[in-house]
C-alpha cells in the first residue's frame, strides 16, 4: 500500500486516508478561518507528491520536486484532483493543471 496522509494548516494530520477523508477535509476547510483555511494531501511513492489547497481554491501541486500553481474552478474539481492523486494518476493531474 502506498503511504499517504492529509494534514490541515491548523495541525491536524491523519495517515492512510481514503476518498471519505478528502470529502471531510473539503467540508472542514470551508468552515475554517482564512489563516487556517488550507490542507494538503501527500502520496509517497518514489517521491512525495503533494496537492495543497487553500480556502480560495488556489492549489500548489508538487510532483518530483516541481511546484505548479493552479486555481480550481470549484470544490468538485478539487475533489476530483485529490481522487486522482490517491489513485496515483499523476500524469492526468499534470495535464489538467498545465
Output the pTM of the full model: 0.93
**pLDDT tens string 34-87:** 777 899 999 999 899 999 999 999 999 999 899 999 999 999 999 999 999 999
CA-to-CA distance for 69 and 53, rounded, in angstroms?
Answer: 10
Residue 35 is predicted with a pLDDT of 75
Integer Rg of the chain from CA: 12
The residues pairing with 50 across neighbouring beta strands, listed in sequence order, are: 42, 62
CA atoms within 13 A on the CB side of 80: 11
Residue 53: all three cell numbers together: 489547497
Which range of residues forms the domain containing residue 76?
3-97
Q: How many domains does the chain have?
A: 1
Which three three-digit cell numbers place residue 31?
A: 468552515
Amino acid at each position: 500500500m502506498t503511504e499517504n496522509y492529509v494534514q490541515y494548516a491548523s495541525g491536524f494530520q491523519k495517515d492512510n486516508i481514503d476518498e471519505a477523508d478528502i470529502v471531510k477535509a473539503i467540508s472542514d476547510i470551508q468552515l475554517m478561518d482564512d489563516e487556517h483555511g488550507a490542507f494538503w494531501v501527500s502520496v509517497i511513492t518514489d517521491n512525495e507528491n503533494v496537492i495543497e489547497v487553500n480556502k480560495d481554491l488556489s492549489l500548489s501541486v508538487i510532483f518530483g520536486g516541481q511546484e505548479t500553481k493552479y486555481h480550481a474552478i470549484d470544490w468538485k474539481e478539487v475533489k476530483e484532483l485529490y481522487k486522482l492523486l490517491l489513485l496515483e494518476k499523476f500524469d492526468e493531474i499534470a495535464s489538467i493543471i498545465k
